[in-house]
Amino acid sequence: MKVITTPREMQALVITWKGEGLKVGLVPTMGWFHEGHLSLMRKAREVADRVVVSLFVNPMQFAPTEDLDNYPHDLERDRKLAEAEGVDVLYAPEPADMYPAEFKTSVHVSGLTTGLCGASRPGHFDGVTTVVAKLFNQTLPHIAVFGEKDFQQLAVIRQMVRDLDFPIEIIGHAIVREQSGLAMSSRNTYLKEDEMEAAHSLAKAIVQAQHLVGQNKNLSPDQIKEEVTGIILSYPQCTIDYVEILDRSSLQPCERISSESVLVLAVKINQRIRLIDNSTLVGN
Ligand code: AMP
């Protein structure tokens, strides 16, 4: 596995691959790999001839008050994990190469970015779409794999790809969870032992919501949201950023629960750690 750090070298290699008729897959990440990231790499390995995993902790998607400086980082650890998955290139560009002093462009997707995470993290999605557009141009992939864990992000990226005519197939990959149900996240490393139980409230609330819908499909979204909110707030360390039941494509609130409905959650643990999770409510 090669480690590449400059956009120019990355692009040159992909152009060579493409000249050989090889199919290229990209997995964009911010590193500190866990099984969720590794499953995305395996998916890319399955569908592409060459796999590039990008590792870039993107300053543009963090607000000044957020955890950019503390975000877990260990290139050597991640290099070994990616290599073991048969990744061809770990692409780890430097911030100065991604955003040189004269950088002036931002990619903005409207509508889908205003609610949910966009409401509590202003500017976050402009950072995401700008960096992903750059990564697409630097790695020129045929396919790119993203996790459904970042549900709104996936919808926003699909929209950007359609709107800007990127010739890239976007593949969404199911959430990988700990045995306990907790959705894997690099940010889980911030959780102290006594915060773990509170962190599990998200998955616990999802399971209860699915159970209730399984028993009675006529329950309203508000009734389910009330139940979910009650479970989460029964842990004093938890505050709710949002609990919503949305249509999976439009991200608009649903009037009735159906197979298109997704329960999306964002919860802060001790005001320090913001966790997100989501799930459909009706078995497919
Ligand atoms: P991150 O490094 O957190 O920016 O995530 C990189 C990619 O991995 C994104 O597409 C995430 O949605 C995806 N991802 C993160 N956690 C998980 C998980 N638990 N299961 C599946 N995909 C995930």
Of 122, 138, 173, at which residue does a domain stop? Answer: 173
Q: Is 37 a catalytic residue?
A: yes
Residue 88: Cβ within 10 Å count:
22
150 and 203 fall within a common domain: no
Does the beta carbon of 175 sit less than 6 angstroms from any atom of ligand 1? Answer: yes
Q: How many residues does the chain have?
A: 284
Instruction: Give residue 223 CA to ligand 1 midpoint distance, Å.
Output: 30
Nearest of 172, 171, 169, 173 to residue 142 by alpha carbon = 169
The pTM of this model reads 0.97
Q: Ligand 1, atom 5: nearest CA belongs to which residue?
A: 29
Instruction: Give residue 218 CA to ligand 1 midpoint distance, Å.
Output: 33
Question: Which residues are bridge partners to 28 per DSSP?
Answer: 54
Q: Report in angstroms the alpha-carbon separations of 97 from 62, 126, 243, 255, 256.
A: 18, 19, 38, 46, 48
Distance (Å, rounded) from C-alpha 272 to C-alpha 237?
Answer: 10
Does the beta carbon of 201 sit less than 6 angstroms from any atom of ligand 1? Answer: no
Q: Which of 26, 27, 37 to mutate to test the pocket of ligand 1 (most atoms within 8 A of CB)?
A: 37
Q: Are 191 and 163 in contact (CB under 8 A)?
A: no
Q: Which of 26, 27, 29 to mutate to test the pocket of ligand 1 (most atoms within 8 A of CB)?
A: 29
* Average pLDDT along the chain, 284 residues, taken 10 residues at a time: 98 98 98 98 98 98 94 97 98 98 98 95 97 98 98 98 98 98 96 96 98 95 98 98 94 94 98 97 80
Side-chain half-sphere of 243: how many Cα atoms within 13 Å? 24
CATH code, domain carrying 128: 3.40.50.620
> Which residues span the domain enclosing 250?
186-279
pLDDT at 284: 57
Distance (Å, rounded) from C-alpha 134 to C-alpha 132?
Answer: 5
Atom of ligand 1 nearest to the CA of 174: 21
Residue 284, domain member (yes or no): no
CATH code, domain carrying 205: 3.30.1300.10
243 and 153 fall within a common domain: no
- Tell which phi-psi region holds residue 116, choosing left (phi > 0), alpha (psi between -120 and 50) or beta: left
Instruction: Give residue 34 CA to ligand 1 midpoint distance, Å.
Output: 9
Residue 178, domain member (yes or no): no
Atom of ligand 1 nearest to the CA of 30: 2
72 and 160 fall within a common domain: yes
Instruction: Give residue 25 CA to ligand 1 midpoint distance, Å.
Output: 16
Instruction: Give residue 95 CA to ligand 1 midpoint distance, Å.
Output: 21
Does the beta carbon of 176 sit less than 6 angstroms from any atom of ligand 1? Answer: yes
40 and 66 fall within a common domain: yes
122 and 226 fall within a common domain: no
pLDDT at 13: 98
* The two three-digit tokens of residue 268, written as one number: 């802060």
Distance (Å, rounded) from C-alpha 142 to C-alpha 24?
Answer: 5
Q: Ligand 1, atom 14: nearest CA belongs to which residue?
A: 147
Return the HEC string of the chain: CEEECCHHHHHHHHHHHHHCCCCEEEEEECCCCCHHHHHHHHHHHHHCCEEEEEECCCHHHCCCCCCCCCCCCCHHHHHHHHHHCCCCEEECCCHHHHCCCCCCCCCCCCCCCCCCHHHHCCCHHHHHHHHHHHHHHHHCCCEEEEECCCHHHHHHHHHHHHHCCCCCEEEEECCCECCCCCECCHHHHHCCHHHHHHHCHHHHHHHHHHHHHHHCCCCCHHHHHHHHHHHHHCCCCEEEEEEEEEECCCCCECCCCCCCEEEEEEEEECCCEEEEEEEECCCC
Q: Are 154 and 251 in contact (CB under 8 A)?
A: no
Residue 251: Cβ within 10 Å count:
22
195 and 96 fall within a common domain: no
Domain count, the chain: 2
Of 150, 173, 196, at which residue does a domain stop? Answer: 173
